[in-house]
Structure 1
Amino acid sequence: MSFDLLVKMNPSRKRPKPGDVFVIQPKKGVYYYGRVIRTKMPNKNPMMRGWNLIYIYKVPTEKIVMPDQLNERGLLIPPKIVNNQGWLKGYFQTIGSIPLQEEDYVKDYGFWDAFTKTFVDEEGNKLDFKPKMYSDYGVGSYGSVAYDVQQALEGK
């Protein structure tokens, strides 16, 4: 299966909000759900401050319908810190919102900070353990989400 980029959908001028459910389309007619977990995040690093923490869920759908819940699907890729470009350019399409509950939060994840050679949380605080799920620490966009999704779908 070859996924080059995400398929462009409807751009949005609205900023994402916690609980927003969105879809991405790595291949025409195949959608994966995403969810905004945090927005306007504080961070020790000024370049990382103010962005969004998102999840991309594992189970695809062929129709854009609002799910009842998402946490039972599991994550396709580790949580990502992203800017707003996915929504502004139409690669992330918000379809609704589900208020966040405690069980919606993934517990064992983090980010690898190549500069400090440590694992950190989304705010840049050092973790004292190696998380089960992690990705590189940095601000991504729809391109980095597309790349990670492609790697996951190809089993890499």
Structure 2
Amino acid sequence: MSASNADGHGGRNAATKRAGRMIAAQAAAVSAAVHLLWAWPRLGTGGDPRPAVFVLGGAFTVAVAVATLRAPEYRRLYALGAGTLAAFLIGYVGWHGAAVGSALAADPLAIVAKGAEVVGVVAFLALYRLAPPTSVVLERREHAADEGDRGESGDPAGEGSEP
């Protein structure tokens, strides 16, 4: 069994993990886009702190989405993604209080954002459960770097194609 499968987690590119990363990243991107669409025209127009917070939160959410697609499978990254999207959800409920249902019904952008956030939280939490502990990921990186330093080409006899 290869090193990426030796721990039973299937490696970074297992089909389930690949699909989960795509779903999580897309949900995060949709949430970020909706927040930026809502915030940009209102930025700097009054005492409401939400536009500035949404621009910063949207940029951060995009960074998490990109890292989810490009970085190794770090549980901390997935927890950060789930926490960021959950913060948007909880913040919406906190801002609107008891009128959250009517506020949500009156705003189609909010419906899209909250739907994407729920999907994203579920996807990030699934990725968290599927990912190996951070120590395993770091050990894999170290092992791969050691093999690269020694110039191992996968030749079992240790002989390369050098003259």
The alignment's TM-score, normalised by the length of structure 2, stands at 0.25
Per the normalisation by structure 1, the TM-score is 0.26
Q: Whose helix proportion is higher, 1 or 2?
A: 2
| Max Rg structure | 2
**Bigger strand fraction:** 1
